[in-house]
Each structure stands twice: as structure tokens, then as C-alpha cells.
Amino acid sequence: MIEIQNLVKIYESGKQKVKGVQDVSLTINDGEIFGIVGYSGAGKSTLLRCINMLEWPTSGNVKIDGVDLTSLSRQELRRARQKIGMIFQHFHLVRSKTVFDNVAFALKAAGKSKQEIRNKVDDLLEMVGLQDKRDAYPSQLSGGQKQRVGIARALANDPNVLLCDEATSALDPGTTRQILLLLKKINQELGITIVLITHEMGVVKEICDRIAVMQDGKIIECGEVYELFARPEEPLTRSFIDSVLQLELPEHLVKNRRGTLVRLQYRGEAASDTVISDMLQSFRVKGNIIHGKIEYIQNKPLGILVLELIGDESEVKRAIDFMHERTGGLEVIEHAA
């Protein structure tokens, strides 16, 4: 378990003080994939680097499995870091060394024997699907292959925690999906806790169990991925989610509408409910479907439907109340006619 308590990180430049992280408290459970989301400058990478003390907090505590890293000596911290793997956006591979030697580096530093190193590296390269690239150099690899080497290297000392700093931001969408599936496989097979920093909500949707949304060095919202997608409270969280679910209607679909536009959200089992047909049969209104889709998040459906309701004002209101009661997720779009 990772426990972050009242963490503050202040950078000083001359007389100026900039707060990179402001009083963050957070608990990350064993074995989960935890996402930290925010735009550039939100403080998410600083927070991640404080977890393994690459950035020393100005105040506050970071505990991993009950051990307060801020209280350790340099030697004790070096030993503790062996159980915290880290992968980076730009890979950080040694160009002059082969794939084998890049992965073996941490094992050599830990004093492992040649046979132990050989066996471990071969196992890791098989896990990340790079057995045939054992003797290749980084310049001969694609971006996805370089990141696989980075993942294998981070796993060399059998860490309990894997920190991922924008691990897919330099990759194309297809390669990003492959890397995310690999991380999910590692999490499930090895039980490693993964903390994933990203500015892409699609990455979070793909593999995370819980997320924290950061803004101006603070966590403004935190919870299970499905719940935040279904019920975002903060405007920033909503904007992130809208970018993934593509809920913004083009202006030409809204313009010159005669009725009331509503956005209906189905959660869980309600995504397959007959609420629309029941509403049309129960009230004297007509309904036009303007936009609709169903997303699957953590294997649970989340449905979004935009309707134009045409009819007498009182009937439309009754229909809206009916659908809201059935789904618990209905919004009248303000710019509707």
C-alpha cells in the first residue's frame, strides 16, 4: 500500500516560490492500477517523483508498505528503491548497450551473478515479447519496442510498485493499446501495484481501477474509474471525460431544433433498459435521437443518448421526470430551443 500524507513540494527560484504539489493526501491499494490525470503543469509528475524520492518533498510523508521513505537514510532509500520500478515517456535507454545489457543494468548493480542475470533477463524479455531483440541496440527498435525494454528493465529487481510517467505519450494509438495491455497483464500476473501518470483519459479508461484528477498541484477529485465517468463532479473532470466520450454536439445538430434537447445517461444494467420506448408509450411526446453511444468501462456499460423531445410543455416535463427517475442521469441541454 502507498500512503501519501499532506505532501507538499515547493520549488524556489530566487525570491519566487512555486508549489508543485499542494497538501496532497492519497492512498493507493496493493495490486491496483491507479491513474493520476491532469494537464501539463498540474503537478502529477512531481507527485509521482516524490513517491520514490527522486523529488524530495518539502513536507509530508510517503509510506510504502508501512515504511516512511522520508525518514530513511540514503543507503536505506537506495535499498527501498530497488522495489520501486519506474518507466519513462522517452524510454531513457543507454544507446551504446544492447537490449540485454539495458535490462541487466539494475541486476548488475544489485550484485547478481552472471547466471542469475542471464536467466532473469531472458525471462523478462519473454514476458514483454522481445526475445528476438536480445542483441539489438535501441536505435534498431521502434518506439513500442523501446518502451517494452523500459518495462523489462523496471521489473528486473521484482518491484512491488511500478511507476509510469507518461509511459504511452510518445507512442501512436495502436502501440499505446499494446503497451497498456502489457501493463495490465503484468499487474494481473505479478500482482504489482501500478501508478500511471497521464493527460489522456482514454488511457485511464483502458486499464485503471481508480483515478485522481490533479489541477494546480491539488487533487480535485478521486474515485473509481466507472463512477467518475458516470458522475463527474468537477468541471475539469467532466472536460476530460467529454474528450473521450465525445459528448459535445456539433452546432449544426443543435441549431433550429423545435423541441427540448436532453442528454440521458444509462449506468450499469440500465444501459439495456427500455426506458425510451416506455416513455414514448406513456406520454404524448415525440422523440428524435440526435446522438448516442455505449462505452464499456471496467467491463460495465455506460450509455449516452441525446434526444429531442417534442410536445406540450407539461408532457415533456413529465417525460423528463420519468426518464430521470428511471436512469438517475438526465440533463436538459441549456441551449435547446
Model confidence over 245-262: pLDDT tens digits?
766 666 766 666 778 888
User: Sorting pLDDT into bands at 50, 70 and 90, what band is 335?
Assistant: very low
Give the span between the Cα atoms of 337 and 334, in whole angstroms: 9
Residues 212 and 271 both lie in one domain: no
Average pLDDT over residues 189-209: 92
**Does residue 240 fall inside a structural domain?**
no
Q: What is residue 135's DSSP assignment?
A: T
The total number of structural domains that make up the chain? 2
Angstrom distances, CA of residue 108 to CA of 64, 102, 111, 131: 25, 10, 5, 20
Residues 215 and 310 both lie in one domain: no
Mean pLDDT score across all residues of the chain = 89
Are 164 and 92 contacting, i.e. CB atoms less than 8 angstroms apart?
Answer: no
Q: Among 235, 260, 280, where does a domain finish? A: 235
Which pLDDT score is estimated for 284? 92
Percent residues over pLDDT 70 in the chain: 94
**Does residue 149 fall inside a structural domain?**
yes
Q: Among 172, 205, 235, where does a domain finish? A: 235
Return the biggest CA–CA distance within the chain.
81
Give the span between the Cα atoms of 131 and 180, in whole angstroms: 19
Q: Among 170, 204, 235, where does a domain finish? A: 235
Q: What is residue 268's DSSP assignment?
A: G
**Does residue 337 fall inside a structural domain?**
no
CATH number (domain holding residue 270): 3.30.70.260
Which pLDDT score is estimated for 87? 92
Range of the domain at 255: 251-332
**Does residue 290 fall inside a structural domain?**
yes
Model confidence over 103-159: pLDDT tens digits?
998 888 888 899 999 999 999 999 999 999 999 999 999 999 999 999 999 999 999
What cell does 111 get?
Answer: 550484485
What cell does 1 get?
Answer: 500500500
Residues 147 and 212 both lie in one domain: yes
Residues 194 and 308 both lie in one domain: no
Model confidence over 72-85: pLDDT tens digits?
999 999 889 989 99
Higher pLDDT: 274 or 62? It is 62
Residues 10 and 149 both lie in one domain: yes
pLDDT over 70 (residue 336): no
User: Which residues lie below 8 Å from residue 186, measured CB to CB, with a gap of 6+?
Assistant: 127, 151, 155, 162, 192, 194
Q: b vs e for 173-195, b when ≥16 Cβ sit within 10 Å of the residue's Cβ?
A: eebbbbbbebbeebbeeeebbbb
Closest C-alpha among 235, 193, 155, 232 to residue 35 = 193
Which pLDDT score is estimated for 167? 87
What cell does 128 get?
Answer: 514483454
Residues 64 and 203 both lie in one domain: yes
Give the span between the Cα atoms of 134 and 137, in whole angstroms: 9
**Does residue 243 fall inside a structural domain?**
no
Average pLDDT over residues 2-14: 92
Query: Around Cβ 51, how many Cβ atoms within 10 Å?
Result: 23
Average pLDDT over residues 17-39: 94
Average pLDDT over residues 303-329: 85
Q: Where are any strands of DSSP class E within 56-209?
A: 59-64, 67-68, 84-88, 161-165, 193-198
Residues 231 and 269 both lie in one domain: no
pTM of the model: 0.86
Which pLDDT score is estimated for 303? 79
User: Sorting pLDDT into bands at 50, 70 and 90, what band is 307?
Assistant: confident
User: Sorting pLDDT into bands at 50, 70 and 90, what band is 288?
Assistant: confident
Residues 138 and 282 both lie in one domain: no
**Does residue 245 fall inside a structural domain?**
no
Average pLDDT over residues 263-291: 80
pLDDT over 60 (residue 302): yes
Model confidence over 221-241: pLDDT tens digits?
999 999 998 888 999 998 888
Residues 22 and 162 both lie in one domain: yes
CATH number (domain holding residue 183): 3.40.50.300
What cell does 275 get?
Answer: 426506458
Q: What is residue 72's DSSP assignment?
A: -
Residues 125 and 27 both lie in one domain: yes
Residues 146 and 48 both lie in one domain: yes
What cell does 232 get?
Answer: 463527474
Residues 255 and 218 both lie in one domain: no
Which pLDDT score is estimated for 273? 66
User: Sorting pLDDT into bands at 50, 70 and 90, what band is 202?
Assistant: confident
DSSP bridge pairs for 162: 85, 194
Q: Look up cell 441551449; give the residue.
A: 335
